[in-house]
Structure 1
Amino acid sequence: MRTTSVGVIRIATKGPGDVSGLMAMIDSGAIDPASILAILGKTEGNGGVNDFTREYAVAALCTALAPRLGLSAAEVEQRIAFVMSGGTEGVLSPHITVFTRREAERPAGLSGKRLGIGMAQTRDFLPEELGRSAQIAETAKAVKAAMDDAGITDPADVHFVQIKCPLLTSDRVEAASARGNKTATTSAYSSMAYSRGASALGVAVALREIASDISDGDVLHRYDLFSNVASTSSGIELMHNVVIVLGNSEASVSAFAIGHAVMNDAIDAAAVTSALNSVGLGTMPQPDRALVNIFAKAEASPDGSVRGFRHTMLEDTDISSTRHARAAVGGLIAGLAGTGAVYVSGGAEHQGPAGGGPVAVIAKLST
């Protein structure tokens, strides 16, 4: 198994099209563009079907990186995994997190598991496959491939699986209908949840968190079925799943490590603290460790309450529940982490228990 060194850096952005921070890092030699494997970002759109800040951000990054890599913008998009999550409500701050990977020699005396990253893609889906067993099965295959790419053999060493998945549009629904097939839903907005949910169940199957005998009817209904490490985001800009696996690997000599916990609801501060503690941060931080970023999912509890008290997130016709949830969870995590530049994504169907979601923390080690 090859030995790799994984790097992680968080860069603030002034807008979805701002690439100046990344370019400055490249110009200074802090980032080798050839080593970039994935870029995860938070953009200040609405996070809905018509959130074009995600596509805009990816286009800007690809255009900027193309001449540095000697590729076309389209080729850059195929080479690097881009996952843009729309919505920076409340104190959340727009930013990107850049992951790099290169082959490296293991220094003498270095032991233990360090941050590993791997990526894979599914095939393109037909519109009628979104939110159904085909998407679950293909995602599970891609997760296993991404684990292999990361040098991770034990599912227990996987701490976060980020997926970008498709959604339905009216044109896609009509295309399925023209072939005599029905889609899981005809609502573009609802299709985001179906696609996120099926993708998350694919992660759960791959990591053996649940059995593989899942039916189409389980998606968005069997909320007792979920993954503790899946984070899925829907977008209009693709028809396949992009899978990024983050975990700790014996094959890595990275200066970073990752850990996670599971929030049971939107105000589960104890879980956030547990995730921070898992990498030596939290209430008693180790002086040789520094926070890089926190990645979390946010969800409005489907029963309309949090710890016995009613919430109105599901009943607000002015602001979608996912935006409420991002703001609430983002504020909680920012308060505990001391920064709003954290990656909080809305819509946690089958990603952690109903109303909760996974929270992962990456820390830099001094040695």
Structure 2
Amino acid sequence: MPVHVLSYDTAHPGDTRHLEAALGRFAPESVRRLALLVKTEGNASVNDFSREYGMLSARQAITRFGGSNLAEGATMLFSTGCEGVISPFGYAFIDVDDGTTTPSGGEKGLVFGGACSRKVAAEEIGTLAHALLVADTVRQGMKDLAIGPDDVQLIIVKTPLLGESRADPAAARITSAFSKAVGALGAALALGEIAPEHVVPEAFDRDHSLFGRRAMVFSSSEGGNVEVLIFANRAGAASDWIIHTGGFSDLLDASGIRRTLEEAGCRLDADGTLADADTLGAAFIKAGIASNGRVRQYRTTIRTSDLDMDKHVRASMSGLAGSILGTCRMFISANTVHQAPEGAGLCAFIVRKAGA
């Protein structure tokens, strides 16, 4: 089983004790590929440095475990925002060389991989060049995994914002939502979900009839690069895991999440709760709300409150999804602009194969 899916808790953004314990299960020289996807507490503003603190601590822990080359080659995506019942935690995806060879065909199994772009120039952020760079980065990641767009089930995209340290009088400052919109259209372009002629600046966060269904995008002001983490089911991959992606219609649509779990091979009990927690390796949920702020025609204050919209959404979805999954370890991100139909969302689950 070369691909391992592990999760670990954190006591604070810089806590790596459980990460180090998870890594300690493997011989450092056997690790071919490593990725972390982490939720940290924090205010999620551009002046919140919990992500940087967490990433630095994780990089140091990986270096102690396997050296600087492993740390430099690892994909580490940290997302702030643990509102509601989301527990601060991390997923560790580890591809290990166990000495076995796998056929090129046969049953599909989980593979994962990351890619990172060059630094996005300040004047490029929020432009067509930004979207095309996202598409190129996704294509780079797919090429490295020897997969095509049809194999991809989920892409996590981290796209840059223009922080104060990169401010340029000639550069248009953009919001987090706009950066997500640009990243989402770029990913959809790479997957063939949206035609190139539709990926134009006039469509960014305006034409909500354009959307993909296999990318979850979040933005950050650190780094300045586009980073992607790709999950796919590849024929012949020696893995006990598979990933399946689905969708839901709004913040109240528990049936959409349950349907996706069942399609992935999970069993639900009579109450609609995940019956066997050991079958679930990872849960990814991207939730949003329509631009008018309504859910099933009812007015909400999600878009008009003094509390940031994304915080409302993450908290709301954490209760709904947590009641089905029976866990607080959930990677939940907000704002589905160009990532799902307006007001809808997407979810993906990594599950253990039957009999594995």
Return the TM-score normalized by structure 1.
Answer: 0.88
RMSD of the TM alignment (CA)?
A: 2.3
Amino acid of the structure 1 residue aligned with 2:167: V
Report the equivalent of 1:112: 107
Report the equivalent of 2:244: 259
Is the Cα–Cα contact under 8 Å of residues 299 and 355 in structure 1 kept in the other structure? yes
Structure 1 residue runs without a partner (length 5+): none
Does residue 65 (structure 1) correspond to residue 62 (structure 2)? The answer is yes
Structure 2 residue runs without a partner (length 5+): none
Give SS of 1:17's match: coil
Is the Cα–Cα contact under 8 Å of residues 31 and 95 in structure 2 kept in the other structure? no
Is the Cα–Cα contact under 8 Å of residues 20 and 65 in structure 2 kept in the other structure? no
Does residue 340 (structure 1) correspond to residue 328 (structure 2)? The answer is yes
Q: 2-side partners of 1:249 and 1:28: how far apart?
A: 25
Report the equivalent of 2:297: 308
Over 3 Å counting, the alpha-carbon distance change for 1:70 and 1:182 in structure 2 is: closer
Name whichever of 38-47 and 273-282 sits farther off: 273-282
Q: 1-side partners of 2:140 and 2:10: how far apart?
A: 32
Report the equivalent of 1:248: 233
Over 3 Å counting, the alpha-carbon distance change for 1:326 and 1:288 in structure 2 is: closer
Give SS of 1:182's match: coil
Does residue 14 (structure 1) correspond to residue 3 (structure 2)? The answer is no
Amino acid of the structure 1 residue aligned with 2:92: V
Is the Cα–Cα contact under 8 Å of residues 130 and 194 in structure 1 kept in the other structure? no
Q: 1:321-364 CA distances to partner (integer Å, 9 max, x unpaired)? A: 00000011121111111111110012222111122222000012
Give SS of 2:56's match: helix
Q: 1:297 aligns with which of 267, 279, 286?
A: 286
1:35 to partner: Cα distance:
3.7
Report the equivalent of 1:322: 310
Does residue 172 (structure 1) correspond to residue 163 (structure 2)? The answer is no
1:216 to partner: Cα distance:
1.0
Q: 1:240-294 CA distances to partner (integer Å, 9 max, x unpaired)? A: 1111110100141111110010222122212211221122114267979701121
Q: 1:195 aligns with which of 171, 175, 179?
A: 179
Give SS of 1:241's match: strand
Number of aligned residue pairs: 348
1:223 to partner: Cα distance:
1.0
Q: 2-side partners of 1:312 and 1:221: how far apart?
A: 22
Over 3 Å counting, the alpha-carbon distance change for 1:286 and 1:267 in structure 2 is: closer
Is the Cα–Cα contact under 8 Å of residues 12 and 96 in structure 1 kept in the other structure? yes
Report the equivalent of 1:43: 40
Q: 1:304-327 CA distances to partner (integer Å, 9 max, x unpaired)? A: 10111111011111x100000001
Amino acid of the structure 2 residue aligned with 1:130: I
Name whichever of 248-257 and 348-357 sits farther off: 348-357
Report the equivalent of 1:93: 87
Q: 2-side partners of 1:324 and 1:19: how far apart?
A: 28
Report the equivalent of 2:216: 231
Q: 1:217-259 CA distances to partner (integer Å, 9 max, x unpaired)? A: 2111011111101111111211111111101001411111100
Moved over 4 A (4+): 30-33, 284-289
1:171 to partner: Cα distance:
3.7
Q: 1-side partners of 2:162 and 2:6: how far apart?
A: 33
Give SS of 1:122's match: strand
Return the TM-score normalized by structure 2.
Answer: 0.91
Report the equivalent of 1:162: 156
